[in-house]
Chains A and B, each alone.
Chain A
Amino acid sequence: MRKLTFTSVFSQLLLLLFVIAWIVPTFGLFISSLRDKDVLAISGWWTSFTTTEVNEIYRTKGKEEQIKEGDYYFIKSNLFDENQGKEIYRFGVTSKNIDEYEVGETALFKDETEITVFENGDYIWKSKEEFKKKKGKRIFVSAKSPPSFTLNNYKEVLLKEGLGQAFLNTFAVALPATLIPLIICSYFAYALTWMKFYGRDLLLATIIASLVVPLQMCLIPVLTIYNDFGALFGVSAKSYPGIWMAHTGFGLASTTFLLWNFLKTLPSEMIEAARVDGATHYDTFIKIVVPLSIPSFASIFILQFLWVWNDLLVGLVFLDKHPSEIILTAKLKELLGSRGENWEILTTGAFVSMTVPLFIFFSLQRYFIRGLVAGSVKG
């Protein structure tokens, strides 16, 4: 055990500070996505763990609910639509004096009807004459609201806002856009490592140069090709196969480079022995190289999958914003524009878009880190 020195305490505190600064934004988003939208709009998420005092307006039921008991007519019901665990401590019947009465006291309306409101929201409204109005009366309550969380935002966002569909769409984009480059680049990287052909070094240099070419350099010509292609065949080229190939193209250099880096490290004696025994390159690739490369495939799969899942620009340019094609990030950006003040929608939507990356992150972190570190060995 290390001694408890000043330096070690200081480092622990400093690290703790970093950790808090890094986790708080995400944590706040997550908590907010679980809060009721009305509460979310008026109070900070950090207040949601304590009991808060709220002033609210409710309306009593109308004449349909009345029952006659003896000489009096009664309406007995509860102010709250659903049990939220709120505790009323004062109430009022006019907007001028919203906390006139202690809970359990009886208040008098102008029309001489009487109402008693209880702690849990139950009320008894009593009148000598029959209730005539369909609409009930307004009751002002001051209540203590305990911490309460709900999954309603998720229901709303997934079903009504179309994020559920966008979620599926993103999968339909990301899975092939990860698998296709992995397939064609593994053959490519094998050829670059173990096959001898004219121009191999030049091709390798091209890959290394392409690694850093900014995506923006390619957008306009590729979009033109897509538009021409679409005009030629009379179909929109902005479609799933279109975006798969775009992601394949933009991810090709890094996927090939990572695989090439790995394949280089395989012992060349093994490959040559197989060749001497009469195995074709295809046999060698399928039977020897692929099984040995599984861990490296896993790392690259994760990197590329997360890249595609999180991408916005390629999705914006090469897919329509139609509901059957829109991806999560584009949908989220759309919501930021149209529902900018509806934080319950935004926080929940953002969290939905993060579920898959976070799942991959926490379950496969080792492969993710390995891929990143391998990729960084060179620029």
Chain B
Amino acid sequence: MSIFSLAITVLIGVLFFVLFFHLSNFLLDYFRVKASKNFAFENSIRVIIFIAPAFIVLFVFIIYPVFETIRLSFFDKVGENFVGLFNYTWAINDPDFKRSIINNLGWLIVVPTLSTFFGLVIANLADRIWWGSIAKSIIFMPMAISFVGAGVIWKFMYDYRGPGDQQIGLLNAIAVALGFEPQAWLTIPVWNNLFLMAIMIWIQTGLALVIFSAALRSIPNETLDAARIDGASELKIFWSIIIPYLEQTILVIWTIITILVLKVFDIIYAMTNGQWQTEVLANLMYDWMFRGGGDSGRGSVLAFCILIGVIPILAWNLYRHKQDQKV
């Protein structure tokens, strides 16, 4: 499509929603003047106008699909015949599924831990160095890039040429310079998962960094100065004051990255497509959505497994929300 027709499509799409709210409220006001002043009635119409579009979208795209996916996990590949727990027993016996679960667990342990750790260390370092804000910008930058873009960047880093050839991937060039054999990093089972995780850590450290930076500023200077006067070393201050102070923040960052890692898809899809034992649940699920015309039963089981992973976080969030409402 030409740029012109694209622009028109975009304009119509956006205007549609602007006009919906504008016209419906305008009509309501118009008839209010004419009709008797039934305040309660008018108010409830207005509430409907305000929440209906968002609620419909929420229902169609989130609420209904969640329950439908759970239902489909008990049905066959086209979603017509009830098969009980068949899809679940299939999953338990499927070697790909087992490997995905193990890989996912690996991701869940390594990525949030290292991202949070690096973010915390860098935030502390950058806070007291004059060029710290430039450093923060640079480390934060991968947050803006797509996972596929990051995938290309790192695939280039990991590029492999046979021994004897000039290596054009930086990692192999370093390996060769240090006297090792070049390796096809992404094809070595088990270890290749770490090379994929490195990409996610490279991206998510920036998130941890900026949130920690904001939180660090809330630590009162008096506390830190008092500790320094008492002769505490910087390392001691870090462990005994800063870490306990940031406990809540650490937990929040941990959960954000955990949720993200649970549904990691793009990186693996772009880099290995699940080959060489790098599958995770999200990739396996995508695979089953389309493999052999698609199997909605198996796909739903896999999606449900991802949901189970976030349920503790979901419950915790709801609990905290309730606590907040009481205050």
* A interface residues, Cβ below 8 angstroms from B: 2, 7-8, 11-12, 14-16, 18-19, 22-26, 28-29, 32, 40-46, 168-169, 171-172, 175-176, 179-180, 183-185, 187-188, 190-192, 195, 197, 201, 203-225, 240-241, 244-246, 248-250, 252-253, 256, 280-282, 306, 309-313, 316-317, 324, 328-329, 332-333, 336, 343, 346-347, 349-350, 353-354, 357-358, 360-361, 365, 368-369, 372-373, 376-379
Contact = CB atoms under 8 A, between A and B. Distances in A.
Interface of B: 1, 3, 6-7, 9-10, 13-14, 17-18, 21, 25, 28-29, 43-44, 46-47, 49-51, 53-55, 57-58, 60-66, 68-69, 72, 79, 118, 121-122, 125-126, 128-129, 132, 135, 137-149, 151-157, 159, 166-170, 173, 202, 205, 207, 210-211, 214, 234, 252-253, 255-256, 259, 262-263, 265-266, 269-270, 281-282, 285-286, 289, 296, 299-300, 302-304, 306-307, 309-310, 313-314, 316-318, 320-321, 325
Contacts, number: 343
Given A23-B138, A213-B66, 9 more contacts: A25-B154, A29-B156, A44-B173, A45-B168, A208-B321, A214-B309, A245-B57, A311-B146, A376-B211
Query: What is the predominant secondary structure among interface residues of chain A facing chain B?
Result: helix
27 contacts: A7-B234, A15-B132, A16-B135, A22-B138, A25-B170, A176-B10, A184-B54, A197-B51, A208-B318, A212-B313, A214-B262, A214-B282, A214-B307, A216-B285, A219-B285, A222-B65, A240-B9, A250-B61, A282-B46, A310-B149, A312-B265, A312-B266, A346-B155, A350-B152, A357-B145, A372-B207, A379-B317
Contacts of B7: 172
Residue of A211, A216, A219, A246 with most partner-chain B CB within 10 A: A216
A252 B50 contact: no
Contacts of B126: 15
A378 B129 contact: no
B196 to A, nearest CB: 14
Contact of B64 (A221, A246, A358): A221
B29 A282 contact: yes
A377 B211 CA distance: 9
Contacts of B214: 369, 373
A18 B207 CA distance: 15
Contacts of B51: 187-188, 191-192, 197, 203
Contacts of B10: 171-172, 175-176, 240
Contacts of B207: 372, 376
Contacts of A26: 141-142, 145, 153
A23 B14 CA distance: 38
A246 B58 CA distance: 10
Given A42-B168, A329-B146, A217 B69 contact: yes
B266 A353 contact: no
Nearest to A306: B144
Contact of B21 (A29, A187, A245): A187
Contacts of B3: 168
A4 to B, nearest CB: 12
Contacts of A250: 61-62
B9 to A, nearest CB: 6
Given A19-B138, A249-B58, A347-B152, A220 B9 contact: no
Contact of A187 (B54, B140, B318): B54
